Structure 1
Amino acid sequence: MIEILSPAELLKAQAAGELVGTILARLKSECAVGTNLLEIDRRTKAMIEQAGAVSCYVDYAPSFGRGPFGHYICTAVNDAVLHGKPHNYKLKNGDLLTLDLAVTLNGISADAAISFIIGDKQDPADQRMIDATEAALAAGIQAAQPGARIGDISYAIGGVLSAAGYRINLEYGGHGIGSTMHQDPHISNNGKPGRGYVLQPGLLLAIEPWVMKDTNRLKIDADGWTLRSATGARTAHTEHTIAVTEDGPQILTLPAP
């Protein structure tokens, strides 16, 4: 299903996106050495409920997971990159943490992810990887112009990631979003320009470049959800929900001023 939102629905999408961005920014400011992943999950639940929103994850049970997910946020540490299930783990100095959050507010969903390093023990290679995903995201967003195609976004993302020296996994990528979290069209993190669905004003897209330091292969944890690099290498993941408008792409998942 591909949804094209009305102007009234786009206003709701803006509110949902701002909530996601604001929660992620607050969580990032609170995360420190010793913070427990389960506490991050509890804080996320409290902020979602305080805003009158609904988690997209708690009851999420797709074919690829061992569901339902049962938590309010994805917390992926170091070699984990996608669908990181919160568990009893205290963050350590130098950990690379990815927070991935999706909520529904007033019937419209928004989805975003951030990666950052905990504490002051920072490996430059980790920061380069984070920077590469952020640059790829910016390129993908810029390519999301009305009348462009999904393949143009994929090509822009893949060009940045490949130039930075990373191999690209094509199993998981971005997606359409609207009244539900995961919709068509799928947005691969590499592809050929000029192919795929034509972007129309009113379309919402969650664009999410992610990489692993030295591989493009994944393995899955015993929890049935958490995806890790097959080599144990570190990972990074960055995501925004955007709206395609007549004036170009609009990022929705920025924190409130």
Structure 2
Amino acid sequence: MIELKSQRDKEKMRLAGQVVAEVLQILKTAAVAGVTTRDLDAIADEEIRKRGALPIFKGYHGYPASVCISVNHEVVHGIPGSRRLKPHDLVSLDLGAILDSFVGDAALSTFVGEAPDETAALLLKVTEEALYEGIKAAQPGAHLGDISHAVQSHVEKHGFSVVRDYVGHGIGHQMHEDPQVPNYGPAGRGILLKPGLALAIEPMVNVGSYDVDVLDDGWTVVTRDGSLSAHFEHTIFINPDGPEILTRIDGKIPV
């Protein structure tokens, strides 16, 4: 069942989203050579709680940390631990917080220092652009598949691949609500998008094949071919005049 949210709900979701936006920027700055992923998790937990929110990931289906940290060929759901970041690592940070019974969820990818090569730099650029292409397609009266098609088209135009096994989702009182939001598929299909719909759109993009595997820890998703992967995500709300980003500090869609 798809639940439409009110404007009051949106404002509460925005507050949760701003917590996520602020803490992600802190984590991005802290992701330097020599820091452990466990160090970053401790920062995430402290900064979320400092803002009066709770880390929604911690304990979610048994997940043991406050932030998912995926490095290089890890796609999503990496568990923080003793790993020390090295120069040129590609680090994906996925963070969720709950505040006043509403959830914010967002992700970004960054390099430790400089990108290792031009392909890696392009991967990051294209994945973030694909997220915003998907958001721009989330117009009232459009179809869910228009989001999916916008993401996939942009990614594949640059020779990269979109992960099929993991998708975006509805969001609100729960982190994962209906509908699912694939990052691939034909335009013009799926449900009609209506004002009040809140979605987490999150392209996961690989340099090589879109095939993935899950490690023995039961969480960490990796590219099957060992190629680099990037991940960007925002929580959005569809207004009568178009989408609004709730997990970006200025709330605007980049031109």
TM-score in terms of structure 2 length? 0.95
Contact 1:99 1:114 (8 Å CA) reproduced: yes
Contact 2:165 2:212 (8 Å CA) reproduced: no
| Correspondence for 1:39 | 39
For the residue of structure 2 that corresponds to 1:154, the secondary structure is helix
How do residues 175-254 of structure 1 correspond to structure 2 at under 5 angstroms? 175-254=169-248
Contact 2:131 2:233 (8 Å CA) reproduced: yes
> How big is each residue's C-alpha offset from its partner over 1:177-201, in whole Å with a ceiling of 9 and x where there is no partner?
0000011111111111111111111
Residue 103 of structure 1: which of 79, 82, 97 is its match?
Answer: 97
**Aligned positions, number:** 251
Rounded Cα–Cα distance in structure 1 between residues aligned with 2:207 and 2:114: 20
Give, as a single letter, the amino acid of the residue that structure 1 aligns with 2:40.
I
| Correspondence for 1:172 | 166
Contact 1:242 1:250 (8 Å CA) reproduced: yes
Aligned CA RMSD, in angstroms, stands at: 1.3
> How big is each residue's C-alpha offset from its partner over 1:177-230, in whole Å with a ceiling of 9 and x where there is no partner?
000001111111111111111111111110011111111111111111000000
Q: Percent identity among equivalent residues?
A: 39
What displacement does 1:167 show? 2.4
For the residue of structure 1 that corresponds to 2:134, the secondary structure is helix
Q: Which runs of 4+ in 1 moved over 3 A?
A: none
Contact 1:19 1:256 (8 Å CA) reproduced: no
For the residue of structure 1 that corresponds to 2:94, the secondary structure is strand
What displacement does 1:134 show? 0.9
For the residue of structure 1 that corresponds to 2:162, the secondary structure is coil
Q: Cα gap change, 1:151/1:51 in structure 2, threshold over 3 Å: closer, same or farther?
A: same
What displacement does 1:121 show? 5.5
For the residue of structure 2 that corresponds to 1:28, the secondary structure is helix
Specify which structure has the bigger relative contact order, considering alpha-carbon pairs within 8 angstroms and separated by 6 or more residues.
1
| Correspondence for 1:13 | 13
Rounded Cα–Cα distance in structure 2 between residues aligned with 1:45 and 1:167: 32
Give, as a single letter, the amino acid of the residue that structure 2 aligns with 1:25.
Q
Give, as a single letter, the amino acid of the residue that structure 2 aligns with 1:36.
T
Residue 154 of structure 1: which of 148, 170, 185 is its match?
Answer: 148
Contact 2:162 2:203 (8 Å CA) reproduced: no
What displacement does 1:77 show? 0.3
> How big is each residue's C-alpha offset from its partner over 1:120-159, in whole Å with a ceiling of 9 and x where there is no partner?
3632211100111111111100000111110010011111
Question: Structure 2, unaligned stretches of length 5 or more?
Answer: none
Rounded Cα–Cα distance in structure 2 between residues aligned with 1:154 and 1:86: 30
Pair 1:86-2:106 in alignment: no
| Correspondence for 1:52 | 52
